[in-house]
Amino acid sequence: MEAVLREHPEFKLLGKTKFVQTLSQHGVPRDEARRYHEARELGQMYAPKKRKGELQITAPPFSFQIDVFELTRYKKSNAGVYRCFLAVDILSRKAFAYPLKDGRMSTVLGVYEQFMIDVGEPVNSVAGDAFFDNKAFRTFNETLMVAVYTDVAKDDHITAQGNKLGIVDRATRTLKRYIEKWMLEHDTTKWTSFLPKVLDLYNGTPHSTHPGDTSPDEVFADIDYMRALYKG
């Protein structure tokens, strides 16, 4: 097991169930992996269970929820950077994240353009809060024929009975937990340097909304499967 963890230190960030499952796929007995995780006392990360009557959010392939989240506690150790642009594909739950040197829309548009390139497919739509109800942002998307939805108030971020931006909010919470666990494991608060590794872990881990052991990366790479998800 130690050899597996040396090769894949990011596995240590996983919650108990996914840790045991992932290690078993690499030849480690489940009991051994379970004892190891419990001994480390890193806590557990469970995917939020759906409440009765909760809204099921769906959209055509390559439709994203977007947001800017903050890690203000670690501003000093990251050269003043504490904001991060996050986009999550609604069907696959694949996430794209980019540190922001400041909160200006011109800076956001710079990483947003890179996001469009990284997606590798024409983006259908993006949905965010009032911050994205911006002339420059809308103009940029109109040029690319990307629909922009910003009719979301701050109060719509995480509500009791379903919500409009729940997907990106939940992804934010999960990424922050991964980031904090990485900090504990590696004794560093420079999250901007290891964000790509945490993002790979998030996208490569089976997601509770997908059947079996399917990860966001796997679903995102299968356009036929995403179309089937959309058609229900």
One domain, residues 157 and 207: yes
Residue span of the structural domain in which 124 resides? 63-231
* First vs last C-alpha separation in the chain: 40
**Nearest-CA neighbor of 66 among 40, 37, 86?**
86
Task: Give the pairing of strands 63-70 and 125-127.
Answer: parallel
> Are residue 35 and residue 78 in the same domain, yes or no?
no
Indicate whether 205 and 129 sit together in one domain: yes
Are residue 24 and residue 95 in the same domain, yes or no? no
The answer on 97 and 38 residing in a single domain is no
- pLDDT at res. 165: 67
Q: How do residues 9-57 score in pLDDT, each as one tens digit?
A: 667 767 778 878 888 888 888 888 877 776 654 333 333 333 333 334 4
Count of domains in the chain?
2
Whether residue 58 is contained in a domain is answered as no
**Low-confidence residues of the chain: pLDDT under 70:** 9-10, 13, 38-59, 152-165, 211-212, 231-232
Taking the C-alpha atoms of residue 60 and residue 18, their distance in angstroms, rounded to an integer, is: 29
Q: In this predicted structure, what is the pLDDT of residue 166?
A: 87
Q: Are residues 67 and 3 in the same domain?
A: no
What is the token pair recorded at 105? 């829309």
Cα(148)–Cα(145) distance, rounded to whole angstroms?
9
The domain that holds 175 is classified in CATH as 3.30.420.10
Residues 127 and 201 in one domain: yes
* d(C-alpha 30, C-alpha 21), whole Å: 7
> CA 121, CA 115: separation in Å to the nearest integer?
11
Looking at the structure, do residues 20 and 70 belong to the same domain, yes or no? Answer: no
Reported as type and span, the H/E element at residue 96 is strand 95-100
Are 138 and 226 found together in one domain? yes
Amino acid 81: pLDDT: 98
84 domain residue, yes or no: yes
Verify that 31 and 68 share a domain, yes or no.
no
Closest CA to 117 of 103, 96, 145, 138: 96
Domain contains 51: no
The answer to the question of residue 48 being in a domain is no
Domain assignment present for 57: no
Residue 184: its H or E element: helix 166-186
Residue 224 forms part of a structural domain? yes
Tell me if 53 is assigned to some domain: no
d(CA 178, CA 201): 9
Q: Tell me, what's the pLDDT at 223?
A: 87
170 and 67 within one domain: yes
Do 153 and 202 fall within a single domain? yes
**Cα separation of 148 and 125, whole Å?**
6
In a domain, 204, yes or no: yes
Cross-strand pairs, 86: 67, 97
